[in-house]
Structures are given as structure tokens and as C-alpha cells.
Amino acid sequence: MAKQAWKPWHEVIKLREDLRAGDLPLHLFAADLYEVMMQNGKRPIYEKPVEFFSLTYPTHNLRGLVRDVVLRLAGKNDKAVRQLELTYGGGKTHTLITMRHLVHDPASLPDLPAVKEFEGAIGQTPPKARVAALCFDKLDVETGCDVRSPDGDVRRLKQPWSLLAYQIAGDAGLKLLHAEGKAEERATPPAENTLAELLSLPLKEGIGTLILLDEVLLYAKVRCHVEPGFLDVLIGFFQYLSQAAAKVEKCCVVASLLSSEPKDQADPLGRKIVSGLYDIFQRQSEGAIQPVEKDDVAEVLRRRLFDPKSVQLRGEWSQHVIAAVKGIAVLD
């Protein structure tokens, strides 16, 4: 019987160009929500939707989460608060970036399989929404961090609620929070009714509001060391925020509460912060979501390592795998 011809894997499928050329340092391969929000060109594989979705695998859980969030932004369900769990292979920040890209400018989404899979799960084209992200790993306790307004202006702010207001409505958002109507920061978190008014501002433009929270524990630990009473302030802010989001039409909060580093949760302060934050979000959340499970990891890696065309054309390489396995069997 004639043996079926087969080729080495690297002649059948191609690695992504940046990997093949050795142009992608490990630190650039890590997802960074802050860089996506700022759009400074530092991580194009995450900042540009066409590159991002070419390496994204829509897992079953991720598709379900995206469906619920997008339909909330479309005014078609009441699931206003969602919480992400730490996952087997990571993926929490990648999940937040996915949702940002899907609703930031849906008219310009690339024609890629991942986008079609998400749209199929949603059952419609995603609606445009105002996206604000609190990237707590970039928020310096002493000096704050830069954030971008809807008009593209950049301003450095310190308080989490100030960052939120500026991303939603620029100086107008800060004025809404300030007792004297000034475009300045306030020291205390706004109450539920004030936050609800802030979250409602995009509705005047006919769009919803998506709030993304990332690496909360990392920031909370540092600030609580400096200000021992700040944990109560932060918990109060998140309670007001989650309650306001539930009452505002087309508004959704997606939170990744825990640090990527398990050691941040190991000491008494870390455990106290985790307990306090979980209590708040579990009151409003529909249940924690694990976007990537153990069985998803192989496909996640395949899409991150190989050229999109190689991923799509399974028939081009499967026959060579079968032939190679049969060849090994003959040798045995």
C-alpha cells in the first residue's frame, strides 16, 4: 500500500509573522487594557481590532458573557454587573479588551471568524457604547494616571471616580460630581444617585455605557497601606457604582477584582479586601464567569501562535497529521 505523503508542520502552517521574526518580546505579548484605552500605539496586537481578533478564540463561556453584556448595552436584558474569575490560562484582561473592541466602534469591526462567532452568539451586530476602564494596576496612589475623554483629550487624575467621570463625559463629568460644578476632583466617592446621573449621560447620545474594572486588589492593597480607612471608601464606591449601574438603562459593569499574582491575596489585608469586594459584587452580579477553562487552552494558544489563515484552513494540515501518525504506527 502506497504511503500517504506528508510534510513537516512548518511547511504546512505558518507562525505569526512577529513570532517568526522574533519581533515580539514577552512583555508585549501580555494583554494590557490600559494601552488599549489610551491607543498610544505601544501594543498594536491588542490596540488594533483587526490584529486583536485574529488571535482571539471565542470560548463557550466568553461567547456567553459577551452576549449578556452586549444585550444589556442594547437594552435587552437586566444583567448589569458581571464578575470575572481568575482562569486556568488567564484571559481576564483579554476578555475585557474583547468587550471594549466589540462596542467601541462596531461599524469598523474587521471581517474575521472571531468577530462573526461573537456576532452569532449575540444574535445581532453590537451597538455602539461609551467605554470607561478603571485599570487599577496603572493608577498610582500618589500621582494618579492619565485617562482619555470621549473627545480625545488626556488628563491626569487620582481618584477612581474621577477617572470614571472623565472617560464618560470629559470635564462635564467632573463638573457633575463636584459640589461647586468645577472640573476638578472630589475627595469622596459620589453616592448612587450622582453616579446614576453620570452613567446616564451617554444615553443622551443614544448609546449605552460599559464600565470595565481590572486589577482592583493590586491598587487597594497599596492604598490601604497608606490610608488604613480607604477600604471602606473603596467598598462604598463599588457599592454605589453597582447599584447605579443596575438602575441605569443600557449600562453594564464588568469587573476583574483579583490580582494576577496569588501572593497579593495571601496576607490578612489581601484576604480582607477580597472578602469585602466580593460581598459587594455578589449582591448585584449574575454570578462569576470563567472565560477560559482548561479545555480551551490548546485552541487559545493555537490562535495566538499561528497565522489566521493557517488556523482557518484545518483541512490543509489535518491530512498531514493523519499521515504522520499512520507512519509512526507502521514503524511500531
What are 175-215's pLDDT values in tens digits?
999 999 999 999 999 999 999 999 999 999 999 999 999 98
Q: Say if 197 falls within a structural domain.
A: yes
Q: Which domain holds residue 104?
A: 17-305
Q: What is the mean pLDDT of residues 47-60?
A: 92
Q: Say if 176 falls within a structural domain.
A: yes
Q: Say if 321 falls within a structural domain.
A: no
pLDDT for position 252: 98
Q: Please tell me whether residue 89 adopts helix, strand or coil conformation.
A: coil
Return the percentage of the chain with pLDDT > 90, whole number: 59
Q: Say if 89 falls within a structural domain.
A: yes
Question: pLDDT for 270-310, tens place per residue?
Answer: 888 888 888 887 766 566 667 666 666 666 666 666 666 66
**How far out from the chain centre does Cα 77 lie?**
20
As a whole number, the mean pLDDT across the chain is: 86
Q: Say if 330 falls within a structural domain.
A: no
pLDDT > 90? residue 152: yes
Q: Say if 102 falls within a structural domain.
A: yes
d(CA 1, CA 192): 76
- Which residues have C-beta within 8 Å of that of residue 300, sequence separation ≥ 6? 57, 59, 89, 91, 292
Q: Lowest mean pLDDT: which of 103-112, 124-133, 257-266?
A: 257-266
Most confident of 29-33, 89-93, 197-201, 230-234: 197-201
DSSP 29-43: HS--HHHHHHT-SS-
Of 192 and 31, more confident: 192
Residue with the three cell numbers 489563515: 309
Quick one: pLDDT band at residue 1, thresholds 50, 70, 90? Answer: very low
- Which residues have C-beta within 8 Å of that of residue 128, sequence separation ≥ 6? 103, 104, 105, 106, 107, 207
Q: Say if 6 falls within a structural domain.
A: no
Q: Say if 50 falls within a structural domain.
A: yes
Q: How many domains does the chain have?
A: 1
